[in-house]
Amino acid sequence: MLGFLRAIYREIKSEARHYLRKAGYVAAALVIVGYWISLHDKISNQRGAAWDTLRAAITWIESDWNHTGNVGQIYAIQTLVRDCKWPWHGTFVEPIFDFLLFSDCVDLKSVQLERMELGGLQAAGADFSYADLACSNLTTANLRNASLVGTKFGGSQLVAADLRGAKLRGDHPADDAVFKLANVSYARFNATTEIKGEQLKCACLNAEDTNSSQPQNTDTPADIAAVLKTLRACPANACDVIEHWNCEKWSVDPPPASEPPK
């Protein structure tokens, strides 16, 4: 009789462990799913806040020609593009990684960010195609592997900006990024940068770099380096005169209006 009771006890104990193990698996799965949902809610909220900040910055800039930037715009952009740097973007596994966790790579095509203060921006791999970044400060900005087809950089500060691997030209001349009076002193180009040398012929340098025997980085391709060494010093008021700037004469022709362009 005692042996029979022990057998029943062992069976009940075994079944209890089995059900408890199943319950543990279910509880763990619920915790993981709950965390994943809350994380994506947090990401969605951060993305919404970033867009609100960016819209406020753009409105601030557009309201007055003398406004130059706004607090929070760098963090907002970096929040939207922080996952663009990962190497799987553009591959067949991108949807999987984006769905699981790394989904912050928002398309910023055609966004209007002229006259923005974006020094040190970290936007590797981001898509700014056809965006307007004219007269913005992009000093030391990391735009490595970014899509910059048709992007307007006229009058901007690209001093020491990282453009290695960036796509700056398209199939049609109208798709080429514009560098008119953009300061490209020490900007980084390499063999993987998609750019035509002629795109830089109307760019310019810091005055002290125009007479330097090697004003650019050593990994700059020879054809691009040759063009860079021909560039002249940027005019002090590049953004005021850019609309009337004659790149062949390297002067204003005709004289600009008394008021800067709106």
**Where a domain ends, among 104, 124, 151?**
104
Which of 7-21, 44-58, 139-153, 243-257 has the highest mean predicted lDDT (pLDDT)? 139-153
Query: Are 94 and 75 within one domain?
Result: yes
- Distances 166 to 4, 109, 203 between C-alpha atoms, Å: 77, 15, 17
Query: Are 90 and 116 within one domain?
Result: no
Is the pLDDT confidence value at 43 over 80?
A: no
User: DSSP 3-state assignment of 42?
Assistant: helix
Each residue's pLDDT tens digit, 105-134 = 888 999 999 999 999 999 999 999 999 999
Query: Are 180 and 254 within one domain?
Result: yes
**Where a domain ends, among 79, 104, 129?**
104
Q: Give the confidence band of 19 by pLDDT, cuts at 50, 70, 90.
A: low
Domain count, the chain: 2
Contact partners, residue 85, CB within 8 Å, separation at least 6: 124, 125, 144, 145
Query: Are 70 and 190 within one domain?
Result: no
Is the pLDDT confidence value at 4 over 60?
A: no
Q: What pLDDT, on the 0 to 100 scale, is given for residue 117?
A: 93
Structure tokens at 221: 């391709």
Query: Are 89 and 180 within one domain?
Result: no
Question: What DSSP designation does 199 have?
Answer: G
Query: Are 82 and 152 within one domain?
Result: no
Separation CA 146–CA 127 (nearest Å): 6
Query: Are 256 and 133 within one domain?
Result: yes
CB 29 within 8 A of CB 90: no
Query: Are 123 and 65 within one domain?
Result: no
Q: Give the confidence band of 35 by pLDDT, cuts at 50, 70, 90.
A: very low
Query: Are 135 and 236 within one domain?
Result: yes
CB 83 within 8 A of CB 103: yes
Query: Are 165 and 78 within one domain?
Result: no
In this structure, what CATH number is given to the domain that contains residue 161?
2.160.20.80
Q: What pLDDT, on the 0 to 100 scale, is given for residue 167?
A: 97
Q: Give the confidence band of 257 by pLDDT, cuts at 50, 70, 90.
A: low
Contact partners, residue 254, CB within 8 Å, separation at least 6: 244
Is the pLDDT confidence value at 100 over 70?
A: no
User: DSSP 3-state assignment of 174?
Assistant: helix
Is the pLDDT confidence value at 31 over 90?
A: no
**Where a domain ends, among 87, 104, 121?**
104
Is the pLDDT confidence value at 98 over 60?
A: no
Q: What is the pTM of this model?
A: 0.77
Query: Are 215 and 240 within one domain?
Result: yes
- The mean per-residue pLDDT over the stretch 140-158 comes to 97
Among 22-31, 74-83, 101-110, the range scoring the smallest mean pLDDT is: 22-31
Separation CA 261–CA 188 (nearest Å): 31
Separation CA 159–CA 197 (nearest Å): 18
Neighbouring-strand partners of residue 167: 147, 194
**C-beta neighbour count of 79 within 10 angstroms:** 19
Separation CA 68–CA 240 (nearest Å): 14
Query: Are 175 and 241 within one domain?
Result: yes
The residue segments making up the domain with residue 230 are: 107-262
